[in-house]
Structure 1
Amino acid sequence: MTGPAVVKILVTCEHATNRVPPEFFRWLDSPGARADLRSHRGYDPGADEASRELAGRLKCHRIVGQQSRLLIDLNRSLGHQELFSKYTVGLDPAIKERVVADYYEPYRQQVRQWIVDQPKGCPVLHLSVHTFTPRYRGKHRQVDVGLLYDPKREAERQLCQDWARRFRRQQRQLCVRMNQPYRGIDDGFTTCLRQLDSSPQYAGVEIEINHRFFKNNASRFLSIVRSLADSLRAIPSMPWAGATPPVAVSTQPH
């Protein structure tokens, strides 16, 4: 008799940096663009650090984006109105095609390939790490940490509910919400991977952390990330039949 399957975890970070490839500097060199690059519009403050800490704590593989979403948004589908920013949406079609070919597709293909390369029947948990701004369009967001998933996918729903319960015990003062400040079925990389069905046992969860913690107290921010990792590892079994918890994941480079 074979033993229970081991959950393989992948951590990704689509908005890890505000870097811009030199060849595109001239389109993002206005005062407004430079200001946006330094802000949440250009990247997710703290997301790179959070993804690194999470992957290290879970001893799993990590893949991160290498350029600002003001060039192209790795978390948007092709054809989405926000795939290109207001600074790049008007670029010549041939240049936009090159951006897709050189920066967008290689990242997405790297993630897809990692998933399909896992052993047949192996449960895959994909954690896409993001941070969000405390105020949006003048309104204060009443959430500190969000777990985004597809409510119609039973494994994701059960996982996030159990995960949130355990996380709240460690971080009682935080406001933890399901599918906030965004919906788990909105356009995003996890949504795309579910549609492609890269693995019959794929589960995708987008983690959203209020970036005020990172900006105000980096140590507090990292303690939240560690609690996320520890509470996930504490789940006795994943919602896939026979799957052992992520603590059993073999160490991979990250």
Structure 2
Amino acid sequence: MVSSGDPRHWTVLITCEHAGHKVPAAFLKRMSKSQQKDLLTHKGWDPGALAMARQAATALEAPLHFTQISRLLVDCNRSPYHPRCLGPAFRDMDATEKNFILAAWYWPHRNAIEKEILRSIQDGASVLHLAMHSFTPVLDGDVRTAELGLLYDPGRPWEKLWSDALMKEMQSEWPDWRMRRNYPYLGTADGLTTWLRKHYGPNEYAGIEVEWNQALFTKDQPDAKMKRGLARCLRNLFLQYS
């Protein structure tokens, strides 16, 4: 349990790496018709994730960093040298063109987040990073068996403690939901939180990806009741454990 008596001071950072499906016109022309259609699907963005990220940031009065560039151009939740960091239409570009994409849309998001983390650490605080994502209810014919997942590294004690505490609050708020840890992906797989763990120690940084099943949303957006529920969870979490 995250102890309210622990002397460590925690600040919160909210991010959303797949907040939109934008691709500048010059790059859109390089995409096939089917790839352009994919922009509006789960392949192009995480529907509803930005709305939940904004709600979390408002509830906790925390900074929010997001990018609305589609992951079919560049995926800001991948390491820069990951083979799928760039979208399929851009992986055969020369190094100069690839670096242009990274410099224009990838590194500004990453650098702003690291600047936020460094500022908190230099002020003597630890950082709890909540990255908001959403997942398609069916992928390649497989039905996902959860409404919500928390992704973290079980080998980092503070991440496990914060995840356990957040899961408890969410189970209280939504008792009928199926909630799973490190699902539908592993929290140790390649991603922004994994990248940041390599740069900041386990007592400085705790990164949790919150994954919402898109089946919970109506027309790609959470309703007001769900957003209020998230706000209650997060406020209760910090009233009790920070």
TM-score by length of 2: 0.90
Deviation digits for residues 52-87 of structure 1 (CA, Å, limit 9, x no counterpart):
111112211100013111011000002112111211
Q: Match of 1:229?
A: 231
| CA deviation after TM superposition for structure 1 residue 121, in Å | 2.3
Q: Match of 1:102?
A: 104
SS, match of residue 196 in structure 1? coil
Are the counterparts in 2 of residues 145 and 177 from structure 1 also a CA contact under 8 Å?
yes
Q: Which residue type is aligned with residue 12 of structure 1?
A: T
Are the counterparts in 2 of residues 20 and 67 from structure 1 also a CA contact under 8 Å?
yes
Are the counterparts in 1 of residues 49 and 132 from structure 2 also a CA contact under 8 Å?
yes
Aligned match of 2:20 in 17, 20, 24? 17
1:186 aligns with 2:189: yes
SS, match of residue 210 in structure 2? strand
| CA deviation after TM superposition for structure 1 residue 224, in Å | 3.3
Q: Which residue type is aligned with residue 66 of structure 1?
A: Q
CA distance 1:79–1:121, shift in 2 (3 Å) = same
Q: Distance in 1 between matches of 2:196 and 2:110?
A: 10
1:29-44 equivalence runs, <5 A: 30-44=32-46
TM-score by length of 1: 0.86
Q: Match of 1:212?
A: 215
- RMSD between aligned residues: 2.0
Q: Distance in 2 between matches of 1:70 and 1:117?
A: 31
Q: Distance in 1 between matches of 2:70 and 2:222?
A: 25
Q: Match of 2:205?
A: 202
Are the counterparts in 2 of residues 125 and 204 from structure 1 also a CA contact under 8 Å?
yes
Aligned match of 2:162 in 159, 163, 171? 159
| CA deviation after TM superposition for structure 1 residue 7, in Å | 2.0
CA distance 1:225–1:82, shift in 2 (3 Å) = farther
Query: How many percent of aligned residue pairs carry the same amino acid?
Result: 34
1:101-180 equivalence runs, <5 A: 101-118=103-120, 119-180=122-183
Q: Match of 2:90?
A: 88
Q: Give aligned pairs, total.
A: 235
Are the counterparts in 2 of residues 18 and 42 from structure 1 also a CA contact under 8 Å?
yes
Are the counterparts in 2 of residues 11 and 61 from structure 1 also a CA contact under 8 Å?
yes
Are the counterparts in 1 of residues 52 and 222 from structure 2 also a CA contact under 8 Å?
no
Q: Which residue type is aligned with residue 209 of structure 2?
A: E
